[in-house]
Structure 1
Amino acid sequence: MSTKQMHINNAFELPKEKVVNEFYERIITIPIEARTNLKNELITIIGEERTRGVFIRYGWHCGVSDAEKAMSLEWDDELDLALAGPKFHMLHGYLDKVEILEMSFDEQKKCNFIEVLWINTFEASQYLKAKGLSKEPVCHNLCGYASGYLSKVLQQPILVKEVECRAMGHEQCKCICMPIDKWGDQITSDLSYYQANSMIKELDEITAKLKMERDHLSKASDIHRQLIKELLSNQGIQKVVDILFETTGLTVFIEDEYNQIIVKSGNLPDQLALNKYRDSNTTFVRYSEKLSLLRTPIYYGQQIKGYCSFVYIGENHPNELDYMIIENAAITSSLILFNESIKVNTEQTIKRSFLNDILEGRLAKEEMYKIAYYLDFNPSSTYWMLTFERYVKETCIENELAYNEEMIGHIHLFLKERSINSIVSQKLNKIIILIEYPTFEKLHITQSSFIDQLLRHCSRRFPKYRISVGVSSVIQEFAQTVTLYNETLAALRTTNNRKNVYYFEDLGIESVLFQLQDDVLIERFVNQHIGRLLEADSNEFELIKTLFVYIDNGSSINNTAKELSMSISGLRYRLTKISEILNHDLNDTQYAFTIYLAINILKAKGKIEI
């Protein structure tokens, strides 16, 4: 009787040779060692993951083929077909024995779950023999075979997953067979092994990707050569952003370490708040709903000295080429900024030394004019000076100098952005700014507005400190620079808590005293002449104010009484009291002038208001 007319439960009771000859037109045998060597060669050629997929799919096709043969026999239900699967396994010599630990079907006779024990599988034995213990199951051929066989005979997609393996050190191999939809996310990676991917197609994709990478490298290299060319030609940082804009079509800008944009190319919004986007790596950040930035830091001296940024509109994103270009641009910008920094620092050092030599009186007039000419300062122009004084608790001279150096750089940047010809230096822990006045006048703003802008600029960088500014007059002679400095010092001696900008031109005759270098002498002058009156006066300084108005009105009783809204008798009584306290005749013109000067000093210092 032919096996095709037999029931499937009886077919495997025949001798193995007869079953094989009846089931298959022709069969070949493959030594396990040869199969193992083939697998090892495939691993070498196409990798372990691809090889695993090959043997899983090979097992799948074998399982489907045997399922079709099983279904050609007589059988009562799908259970008969499912139970024949282990017999096919053993027929091919894949293992010694199969034990079904659990099997369940639903009411529609659809498979729910099968748990199987595989005894002495050939794949586990070969792995242990060749490599020792494995970290994961190795019976890929058997899993593929069981998946293909069960999916075919049960007419539903079944996936078999090995959960224990003798190659991992377990006693025997164990697998779970379940419909794919019941596995959930547990088999996401396993499913990929059942999909045959064309290596030719993947090679084409890799080739296309390599071609794109080559094109990217070629374009990035061309841009880099252009940037290096501009670096060597000393074109400056503006040329860098121009090249980037022309070659990429992207708006680009470079900012300094204070997040102030120094150069740009393309269409850029007027105001960008960039201080919160500080990162030590190249990053793509969403600035707003309509705008994104690809930013990379610019390093020199192992510190971040700025950022180079590409601008993307809407939902546009950078590609790999953009990353390559911007990082190359950052390196070039770093070199350019470093060279410019050296030039600027050298120039500023020379200018500062020149200004200090002038203030110390070390230069003759002819030599002073000669150096001024070479430093692009017109000796016949008009000049103006500001002196900054900072109030802090810091007493360490090294920290004071370091702070001043940092602030000098910050002020220099402010002046440079406005094309103001100037020298910024420090002396006696004060910062001195000598300005060629016509370059300031081109801004078309008042002195007070300019100083307010400069103070705001500094306070953003140094918010902890209170800064006072002494402002000189404007002179017509470069040789009078020392006079400007003395005027700023005189203005600073009127320091009080009500304001922080002091103009020399606002001082009266007391400006003569304020030009003394010793503040103690000024205090002694005030105390000597009106000290007793200050002690006797009330908190409102009524006596001091009365005396000031009296002298200011040329010692006229009527005019003084009218200005103070007092009676003549009341004023006479108060003036008599003041004369007694001071022990001096108030009608003495020379003495009245001295007292008037002392009171004006108190006014300038903000100690009294009249």
Structure 2
Amino acid sequence: MTYNVNDQRAEVRDLEEVLKLPDDQLSRIFHNRTVSIPVSALHALRQELVFSIGEDRTKGVFIRYGWHTGVTEGQKMRELNWKSEEELVMAGPMLHKMHGHLDDVIVEEMKYDDEDAINYIRAAWYNSYEVEKQLEFSGPADQPVCHTLCGFASGYLSSALGRPMLVKETKCMAVGDDNCEMVCKPIEDWGTDEHENTYYQSSSVIEELDEVTAKLKRERDYLTTAHDVHKQMMEIILSKKELENIAELLHNTTGLPIFIEDENHNITAKCNGTTIDFDLRELDTKVTHFFELSGGEGLLRTPIYFENKIRGYCSFVYTGGSRPTPLEYMIIDQTSLTASIVLLHENIRIQTAQNIRRSFLADILDEKMDEDELYKVAKYLDFNPEGDYWVFTMEKMGNEDELNLEIEANEKVLKHVNMFFKQRGIETFASYKFSQLIVALEDRPDNIMMKDKPGMINALLKHCREKYKNYKFNVGVSSVENNIRSIPDLYKETEIALNTRTDDSGGNILYYDDLGVEKLLFQISDQSMLNRFVESQIGDLLEADKHDELTETLKCYIENGMSINATSKAMSMSISGLRYRLEKISDLLGIEMDDTKALFSIYMALNVARVKKKS
């Protein structure tokens, strides 16, 4: 029996009658013209698309192809009279099979909403053409592959039911399931996180290319700017400029407040107008990191590495809740490398200068240079040969048993002391002998710290104690002499001052200018004369006093003005006990305990004996 499309469409009224027609006649009822596409051709097309536009976009193409086919079928089927909405839905699987998409469809579950409208369908698919070709040519898949089937079912049900429906494949034989399974629900019931809906939205490749082009342009601009910054940083390195120039360059490029700090969080460079109201000690990081702070502020920080250790940080400051751009991440990473190179150059320069100055001081102390050479080197090092100079010697007391450990410790302390003075704008030349650190300074009145030598040396001692807690330090300070040639004599003055310290606890600062007659006694080159002087004055006392009780009592008595009451209090001793000791001392030395002249000489001998015993 032959059917005219225009005539027969009106005569066909129920599903059974429609489905009993031969396929070619059934097709002509709903289509003016049908093009047959082999499954192998569809698969080849899919492979071409995957190669050209990628897996994800190819999935979208086949979903939309199925969608448009399904919408067309659904619209035509709605023109027929159906006993129920369910009967209209059941026509969809037959049309699915008619197009050759699969061999069979079994609707396993169907639900209705409160208004008796279908809002849920679950069905099993068997022998999908897309699964067949996937397994034949590519093997098992990681994700469901029945994209045309999902698109057709979504388009048909949306058109047939008159409301947006979305089908998702929940099982697929291509990933190892026994059969394929689809679930259909209204789009809104899938929730806002359902990604599948995006495949039904047609997008232009040209638009995507425009977006990619714009992104690439931004990346190119980033790289161009980063290259320009890198080039200028190299110029800074080659011109031997300081970190301040880097901070200024970064600020001019990014418009952000910038600052650079050392490993102790002291600000070493910053651009104008940068204020730091943060506790930087809580913001340490081993990699580039963005810290969100209170009040909408933030810090993009990167560590500056040198000699495999973090030697500081560079930070960009953000306000108003703004965050770093990819360009700023690129720039700050370049900054870290550049700052490391600058620190390397600075370290080499400082070490070279310090080595020259160390050698210069050693030659002065050993008196190896004639006057002309000494003056030339001094002027080269920017010191005035005719200026005022003073010296201090720092004794370091520790527990180094091996020579190499002592040398290493001396180098560290020397570097630390040099950095202390450099940060305060004071030029020095320093060296060490064994456990002594010797520092010579030009007494320049234009430096504020030079006007308060005790305060400056106390600050240095505090600095060293905090850095080297295992050591104790004593400092001997010379007088001031006019001419750099006087440094050897000034060094001897520091040794004399150190020799007069009264205990070995460490932490003493002894000034040569505060000494009395000891200045002369300790400059006597013939030590036998000093020995004879000590022997003549207190020899009998030293021989009898094995535990130094009488010696200490005599010294305290003289230092307390020969007052029995004051000495008793100072020594926490009874007056009767003190009188007993004084009488014994008087008998041993053959002097009266109120003989001022004799006690003065004895006091000098006591000091010499104490120093010689300590040395």
**Structure 2 length as normaliser, TM-score?**
0.84
Letter in 2 for 1:586: I
Identify the residue that residue 219 of structure 1 maps to in structure 2: 225
Equivalent residue of 1:20, what SS? helix
Identify the residue that residue 505 of structure 1 maps to in structure 2: 513
Identify the residue that residue 484 of structure 1 maps to in structure 2: 490
Residue 56 in 1 paired to residue 60 in 2?
A: no
Deviation at 1:124, TM superposition (A): 0.3
Deviation at 1:136, TM superposition (A): 1.7
Residue 198 in 1 paired to residue 214 in 2?
A: no
Alpha-carbon spacing, 1:204–1:575, altered in 2? closer, same or farther (3 Å)? same
**Is this contact kept in 1: 2:391–2:490, CA < 8 A?**
yes
Deviation at 1:284, TM superposition (A): 2.3
**Is this contact kept in 1: 2:553–2:581, CA < 8 A?**
no
Deviation at 1:171, TM superposition (A): 2.8
Select which of 292, 301, 322 maps to 2:328. Answer: 322
Alpha-carbon spacing, 1:53–1:468, altered in 2? closer, same or farther (3 Å)? farther
Identify the residue that residue 331 of structure 1 maps to in structure 2: 337
**Is this contact kept in 2: 1:63–1:149, CA < 8 A?**
yes
**Is this contact kept in 2: 1:533–1:543, CA < 8 A?**
no
Deviation at 1:184, TM superposition (A): 4.5
Letter in 2 for 1:336: V
Identify the residue that residue 586 of structure 1 maps to in structure 2: 591
Mapped partners of 1:300, 1:499: distance in 2? 33
Alpha-carbon spacing, 1:357–1:100, altered in 2? closer, same or farther (3 Å)? same
Identify the residue that residue 97 of structure 1 maps to in structure 2: 104
Mapped partners of 1:256, 1:576: distance in 2? 63
Letter in 1 for 2:604: L
Mapped partners of 1:100, 1:83: distance in 2? 8
Equivalent residue of 2:330, what SS? helix
Identify the residue that residue 457 of structure 2 maps to in structure 1: 451
Letter in 2 for 1:210: L
Mapped partners of 2:85, 2:468: distance in 1? 84
Deviation at 1:130, TM superposition (A): 0.9
Deviation at 1:50, TM superposition (A): 0.7
Identify the residue that residue 546 of structure 1 maps to in structure 2: 557
Mapped partners of 1:143, 1:492: distance in 2? 95
Superimposed CA distance per residue, residues 33-52 of structure 1 (whole angstroms, 9 cap, x where no aligned partner): 11111111111111111111
Identify the residue that residue 288 of structure 2 maps to in structure 1: 282
**Is this contact kept in 2: 1:382–1:476, CA < 8 A?**
yes
Letter in 2 for 1:121: S
Deviation at 1:425, TM superposition (A): 2.4
Superimposed CA distance per residue, residues 438-486 of structure 1 (whole angstroms, 9 cap, x where no aligned partner): 1674446512222233334445544554444333332223222223333
Letter in 2 for 1:167: A
Q: How does 1:159-174 map to 2 (within 5 A)?
A: 159-174=166-181
Deviation at 1:6, TM superposition (A): 0.7
Letter in 2 for 1:397: L
Identify the residue that residue 238 of structure 2 maps to in structure 1: 232
Equivalent residue of 1:311, what SS? strand
Superimposed CA distance per residue, residues 508-549 of structure 1 (whole angstroms, 9 cap, x where no aligned partner): 4446677899xxx99x9999746866848599x777533543
Equivalent residue of 2:194, what SS? helix
Identify the residue that residue 4 of structure 2 maps to in structure 1: none
Residue 404 in 1 paired to residue 410 in 2?
A: yes
Alpha-carbon spacing, 1:409–1:285, altered in 2? closer, same or farther (3 Å)? farther
**Is this contact kept in 1: 2:540–2:588, CA < 8 A?**
no
**Is this contact kept in 2: 1:533–1:544, CA < 8 A?**
no
Identify the residue that residue 50 of structure 2 maps to in structure 1: 43
Identify the residue that residue 470 of structure 1 maps to in structure 2: 476
Q: How does 1:143-154 map to 2 (within 5 A)?
A: 143-154=150-161
Select which of 127, 130, 134 maps to 2:134. Answer: 127
Mapped partners of 1:376, 1:538: distance in 2? 54
Mapped partners of 2:346, 2:568: distance in 1? 66
Superimposed CA distance per residue, residues 420-448 of structure 1 (whole angstroms, 9 cap, x where no aligned partner): 12113222133322211116744465122
Letter in 1 for 2:476: G
Select which of 75, 78, 91 maps to 1:84. Answer: 91
Alpha-carbon spacing, 1:203–1:572, altered in 2? closer, same or farther (3 Å)? closer
Select which of 364, 378, 386 maps to 1:372. Answer: 378
Alpha-carbon spacing, 1:50–1:272, altered in 2? closer, same or farther (3 Å)? same
Identify the residue that residue 27 of structure 2 maps to in structure 1: 20
Letter in 2 for 1:146: A
Identify the residue that residue 268 of structure 1 maps to in structure 2: 274
Letter in 2 for 1:263: A
Identify the residue that residue 293 of structure 1 maps to in structure 2: 299
Superimposed CA distance per residue, residues 107-128 of structure 1 (whole angstroms, 9 cap, x where no aligned partner): 4324454332111000000111
Deviation at 1:352, TM superposition (A): 0.5
Alpha-carbon spacing, 1:189–1:3, altered in 2? closer, same or farther (3 Å)? same
Superimposed CA distance per residue, residues 299-325 of structure 1 (whole angstroms, 9 cap, x where no aligned partner): 454544433332223323222222333
Deviation at 1:22, TM superposition (A): 0.6
Over the aligned positions, Cα root-mean-square deviation in angstroms equals 3.7
Q: How many residues align?
A: 590
Identify the residue that residue 72 of structure 1 maps to in structure 2: 79
Mapped partners of 2:156, 2:470: distance in 1? 79
| 378-387 or 82-91, larger mean C-alpha shift | 378-387
Mapped partners of 2:403, 2:446: distance in 1? 33
- Unpaired stretches in structure 1, ≥5 consecutive residues: 554-559
Alpha-carbon spacing, 1:155–1:454, altered in 2? closer, same or farther (3 Å)? farther
Alpha-carbon spacing, 1:565–1:163, altered in 2? closer, same or farther (3 Å)? closer
Alpha-carbon spacing, 1:134–1:561, altered in 2? closer, same or farther (3 Å)? closer
| 529-538 or 25-34, larger mean C-alpha shift | 529-538
Alpha-carbon spacing, 1:156–1:492, altered in 2? closer, same or farther (3 Å)? farther
| 238-247 or 528-537, larger mean C-alpha shift | 528-537
Equivalent residue of 2:291, what SS? strand
Letter in 2 for 1:580: K
Equivalent residue of 1:262, what SS? strand
Mapped partners of 1:318, 1:285: distance in 2? 11
Deviation at 1:214, TM superposition (A): 2.4
**Is this contact kept in 1: 2:67–2:153, CA < 8 A?**
yes
Alpha-carbon spacing, 1:444–1:472, altered in 2? closer, same or farther (3 Å)? closer
Equivalent residue of 1:395, what SS? coil
Letter in 2 for 1:114: I
Identify the residue that residue 432 of structure 2 maps to in structure 1: 426
Letter in 1 for 2:589: H
Equivalent residue of 1:127, what SS? helix
Alpha-carbon spacing, 1:301–1:65, altered in 2? closer, same or farther (3 Å)? same
Deviation at 1:195, TM superposition (A): 2.4
Mapped partners of 1:370, 1:384: distance in 2? 20
Mapped partners of 2:150, 2:522: distance in 1? 99
Letter in 2 for 1:199: V
Deviation at 1:389, TM superposition (A): 3.3
Mapped partners of 2:320, 2:523: distance in 1? 62
**Is this contact kept in 1: 2:357–2:429, CA < 8 A?**
yes
Residue 249 in 1 paired to residue 255 in 2?
A: yes
Residue 436 in 1 paired to residue 442 in 2?
A: yes
Superimposed CA distance per residue, residues 555-607 of structure 1 (whole angstroms, 9 cap, x where no aligned partner): xxxxx3686699xxx979955642325622233767523542366689999x9
- Unpaired stretches in structure 2, ≥5 consecutive residues: 1-6
Superimposed CA distance per residue, residues 164-213 of structure 1 (whole angstroms, 9 cap, x where no aligned partner): 2222233322223334444457x633233222223222222222222222
